Amino acid sequence: MLGVIRILCLMLVSLLLDRARGSHNASQRTFEIDYKHDHFLKDGQPFRYISGSIHYFRIPRFYWKDRLLKMKMAGLNAIQIYVPWNFHEPQPGQYQFSEDHDVQHFIQLAHELSLLVVLRPGPYICAEWEMGGLPAWLLQNKSIVLRSSDPDYLAAVDKWLGVILPKMKPLLYQNGGPIITVQVENEYGSYFTCDYDYLRFLQKRFRYHLGNNVVLFTTDGAQKKMLQCGTLQGLYATVDFGPGVNITSAFLTQREYEPKGPLVNSEFYTGWLDHWGQPHSTVTTEAVVSSLHDILAHGANVNLYMFIGGTNFAYWNGANIPYQAQPTSYDYDAPLSEAGDLTKKYFAVRDVIQKFQKVPEGPIPPSTPKFAYGKVALKKLKTVEESLNILCPNGPVKSLYPLTFIQVKQYFGFVLYRTTLPQDCSNPTPLSSPLSGVHDRAYVSVDGVPQGILDRSNVITLNITGKAGATLDLLVENMGRVNYGHYINDYKGLISNLTLNSSILTDWMIFPLDTENAVRHLEGWPGNDSRCHGKACAHESSNYTLPAFYAGNFSIPSGIPDLPQDTFINFPGWTKVRCGLMALTLVAIGQHKAPR
């Protein structure tokens, strides 16, 4: 027994010594700015990072390691990540940090692959993400001034920073983790408030939670007017710009605010964002690698935004003003495609990097295999109007005038607004949103007969027909909140009154629709015999049909190794589709129209 005790004691002493050595090693790790020689110092040695942006929230957790390894094999020594507040706190005080939300695990994966991390925790991130990462529930306070020293905004920000930053502190480089620098806010010089008290508040809170040794920085466009409002003493000022910009001039702009220290382009654009209904944006490989080479030849640090874009799952896409929503795809024409596939641009970027530093040897993980599962026949289940008892089990909210999504506690998706026609509309009668108050897209029907679409940008008047007393329905879709600029306080739904023949419509029933929960219980949904095969759904007597739920099953073939595999879904002839996958059932809520 005594021998056992001795062994246990020796083991305990050994463990304590190992921990002490680890603590000692962590305390020796430093990352700082060498202002005298204009570069970073990592553990006392000159260091330059070449990083790439990757958004863990746009990539399934299953693929995180694959994407990170491909980035490492391209020659990157760091990654840059945003942390979207709304992704982790969808409701006040309700936090999500597991599964696809496990940002700490993602950072640890990067650490295991010897990738450093440039952290951008906001609270605002832009990123072509819903409301720039700010939670929609902030808008419950109508008078709130976002991204300012408004007391209500600061109180919410302070609470959030008190949750996220302590999670990040153990992952700082000096604490043994991979995080070398931390950005405060994001491109603040592009916002109208220009509130230095707000920046000072953030600086103090970041220092309080992270300590005085971490390098804090800001990022703004390489223009004096942007750096003027986006920078603050004590926060290292960096710039962002893409291919084709005069590199010398851009870095001279940074030098006006940081006369000494490393040159940093925090967002070198490898591609560009898309808008719904517009062609896919591309930037030539030649333009990207030419500018990248010149940036590196200047001795600058650079982050490639994006290195992989990924996908806007669920309702997380953002939008720009004049209102244009971003689509589900966030491919960005990046070196790694939306699906994580290797591209010509990937290898060209790698070739440039290896001219300036050594790239890892060994095989590059291949593009993920894909499989064509064939056509899926979709069975129409019910229209949205026929499904209200399932979608809104608690019944409607009644109001004299329309209420916004926020007012009925519906942040995403769809809300159905219902009233009755107060007059006979046997002849086409104008239904109007005179103040462009449809945010963002409304599918209009009278007694179940489709009338057309209103939207906030292009169609604010629609002629409808129907008898007095007929049911007027507007299914309003939130297509994504504005993520950049003055108008990020983007309220959804009918945000102003509608008129019929210039008379204000009143007495509304408002149905917040829980589509996510309803779709999970499709087994109980009765369907009809209408099936859609390919473009067959698009040939209807009317240009538009009512939005409805459709479902179809497909099989994974047996006898083929490595299945299931990734695939792509195409809806030829359809106008707009929200699609989900449950087990082997493809579920779509959508609308189709005759091809034009």
Mind telling me the catalytic residues? 187, 267
Give the E-state strand segments of 458-593 in sequence order.
Answer: 461-466, 471-477, 493-494, 499-500, 503-504, 508-512, 531-532, 548-553, 574-582, 585-592
What gap in Å lies between CA 236 and CA 238, rounded to an integer?
7
* The residue to which tokens 């003055």 are assigned: 486
Closest among 169, 78, 155, 154 to 121, alpha carbons compared: 169
Q: Count CA atoms closer than 13 A to 176's CA, side-chain side.
A: 10
Q: How far is CA 419 from the centre of its chain?
A: 35
What gap in Å lies between CA 478 and CA 498, rounded to an integer?
17
What gap in Å lies between CA 588 and CA 556, rounded to an integer?
19
Q: Are 53 and 81 in contact (CB under 8 A)?
A: yes
Distances (CA, A) of 426 to 430, 444, 451: 12, 16, 13
* DSSP, res 223: S
The dihedrals phi and psi of 333, each to the nearest 5 degrees, come to 55, 40
The dihedrals phi and psi of 5, each to the nearest 5 degrees, come to -60, -45
Rg over CA atoms, the chain: 27
Closest among 81, 270, 112, 245 to 177, alpha carbons compared: 112
Q: At what angle do helices 64-73 and 103-112 cross, to 10 degrees?
A: 40
What gap in Å lies between CA 235 and CA 215, rounded to an integer?
8
Could you write out the three-class secondary structure of 333-402? CCCECCCCCECHHHHHHHHHHCCCCCCCCCCCCCCCCECCCCCCCEEEEEECHHHHHHHCCCCCEEECCC
Q: Are 21 and 275 in contact (CB under 8 A)?
A: no
In terms of Cβ atoms closer than 10 Å to its own Cβ (0-12, 13-18, 19+), residue 26 is: middle
Q: Is the dihedral of CA 99, 270, 316, 527 positive or negative?
A: negative
The dihedrals phi and psi of 306, each to the nearest 5 degrees, come to -100, 155
